Amino acid sequence: MTEATAIPGKSRAESLVTAARVEYTVFLAATGVIGLHVADDSFFQPEAGTAAADHLVSGLVPLAVLALTAWLYPRLRAGARGAIALLLGAFGIVAGIEGAYSLAKGNASGDDFTGLLAIPAGAVLLGLGATTLWRSRRGGSRARRYLRRTLVAVCAIAAVLFVVGPASLSYVFTHVARGFVPAPELGAPYEEVSFTTSDGLELQGWYVPSKNRAAVIAFPGRRGPQRPARMLARHGYGVLLFDRRGEGESEGDPNIFGWHGERDLRAAVAYLQSRSDVDDDRIGGIGLSVGGEMMLEAAAESDGLEAVVSEGAGIRSLREAVAIPDTRPRIEGILEQAVMTPSVALFSNSMPPPGLDDLVSRIAPRPVFFIYAVPGQGGEAELTQTFYDAAREPKAIWRVPGSGHTGGIEAQPAEYEERVVGFFDRALLNGR
């Protein structure tokens, strides 16, 4: 081999080595930024009312995965490297959504800023992954290249639909919640109140004082339940609305499915029991959507709630998905929750709660009223009848004509008021 022919070969080898080093450097830098946000969010600047010890699983597991991929990356083939970069890129963008949401609401602070950095880091990884995969497809016959691209596309779509999508949503569901308090439209004078949960979180809310010695918790949050709250206040009921943990001005980590949020409702009941305008045995609750699910659990596991209205309760974990009686919705729910439930458990540092179909029978002899819409949302159309069948008397159920999810009061306002207020009147006022 002559010198003239050796130099180009050597130059090509050096170019490949340099390209590999640049690729790895970019990968390390981007994953490092994402890892910084995970550590910041979990350990350095956790949510108010929580500590680093509360986030050991949700913090250490992602950091371990990032460290493992950083070690494996240069040892893998181009196709595997590209797939890993794409997956971590998607995670980086999802991890930064909390910071982007806070910035849009004008209250970015703490770990939100490292979260904002995770978004461009994720975008860099997506670009790196796409480039690496494209380069790995060169070579071979045209038919083989197209077949390979088709298989990769099909696998990618399946991964996004059944794995990446649910897992990413789980991160959002356990890190992002309404970060502001809406304007109060309660139709009656109210007080700013606060109370503390059994695990030490301070929750903030509003309370309309009672005129009939009875009070109802309208849940969750201080936005969605305002119209039912106005309705109940017109009939003399005290009404308590509050930000659940991780939402609005309340401390704690958010969880859109409300896992173990019954502790918030127990604290709310204890607050109402401490008030001079409310009798201890005249406290009820009305829960919308996830609030209905949490209300059922709280009533089943403690006796402070004397009557419960649950509107729009549905799937909150794999247990409810399995309980759906219809085949097609059941299969769809199981496929989604098979990934989402363990992902929520990971990112929320908690185990899934008991199945609602097992809990509702414990509410009796206190009355429970189920309200639902068809088709509704999150399995409510299929599951409400299941919950009703599992509950013991006294119980009632109402399918609201023309209603959407938790839209009964808008679809049938007069009948909604008659049914719901009548339910609480019978349970909390009659004969007392």
DSSP per residue over 350-418, as a string? SPPPPPHHHHGGGSTTS-EEEEE-SS-STTHHHHHHHHHHHS-SSEEEEE-TT--TT-HHHHSHHHHHH
Over residues 51-79, the pLDDT tens digits come to 999 999 999 999 999 999 999 999 998 88
Average pLDDT of 336-359?
A: 94
Query: What's the rounded Cα separation, in Å, for the pair 21 and 27?
Result: 10
How far apart CA 344 and CA 356 sit, in angstroms, is: 17
All domains of the chain in start order, with CATH: 3-136 (no CATH), 191-316+353-429 (3.40.50.1820)
Mean local confidence (pLDDT), 318-322: 92
Q: pLDDT band at 383, cuts 50/70/90?
A: very high
Q: Are strands 191-196 and 202-208 parallel, antiparallel or unpaired?
A: antiparallel
pLDDT by residue (tens digit) across 183-234? Answer: 999 999 999 999 999 999 999 999 999 999 999 999 999 999 999 999 999 9
Please give the Cα distance from 323 to 355 (Å, whole number). Answer: 8
pLDDT value at position 430? 82
Which has more pLDDT, 189 or 153? 189
Q: 276 phi and psi, to 5 degrees?
A: -75, -15
pLDDT > 80? residue 159: no
| Percent of residues, the chain, with pLDDT higher than 90 | 74
Position 174, amino acid:
T
Write the DSSP assignment of 4-24 as a string of letters.
HHHHHHHHHHHHHHHHHHHHH
Q: What is the mean pLDDT of residues 162-190?
A: 90
Tell me how far apart the alpha carbons of residues 428 and 432 are, in angstroms, rounded to a whole number.
Answer: 8
Q: What is the C-alpha separation between 67 and 61, in angstroms, rounded?
A: 10
Name the pLDDT band for 122 (thresholds 50, 70, 90): very high
pLDDT for 1 equals 39
Lowest mean pLDDT among 33-42, 63-72, 84-93, 206-215: 84-93
Inter-residue contact 335 to 363 (CB < 8 Å): no
Mean pLDDT of the 115-120 span: 96
Residue 46 predicted with pLDDT over 50: yes
- Could you tell me the pTM of the whole model? 0.89
**How far is C-alpha 143 from the chain's CA centre?**
44
CA distance 190 to 73: 58
Predicted pLDDT of residue 246: 94
Give the pLDDT of residue 179: 81
- Where residue 317 falls among pLDDT bands split at 50, 70, 90? very high
pLDDT confidence band for 385 (50 / 70 / 90)? very high
The confidence band for 4, taking pLDDT boundaries of 50, 70 and 90, is very low
> Rounded to whole angstroms, how far apart are CA atoms 432 and 430?
6
pLDDT (0 to 100) of residue 24 = 94
* Ranges 152-161, 191-200, 383-392: which has the least confidence: 152-161
Band of pLDDT at residue 175, cut at 50, 70 and 90: very high
- Please compute the mean of the pLDDT values over residues 135-150 and round it to a whole number: 67
pLDDT of residue 140: 58
What would the mean pLDDT of 320-339 be, rounded to a whole number?
83
- Per-residue confidence (pLDDT) for residue 3, from 0 to 100: 44
Question: Tens digit of pLDDT for each residue in 262-311?
Answer: 999 999 999 999 999 999 999 999 999 999 999 999 999 999 999 999 99
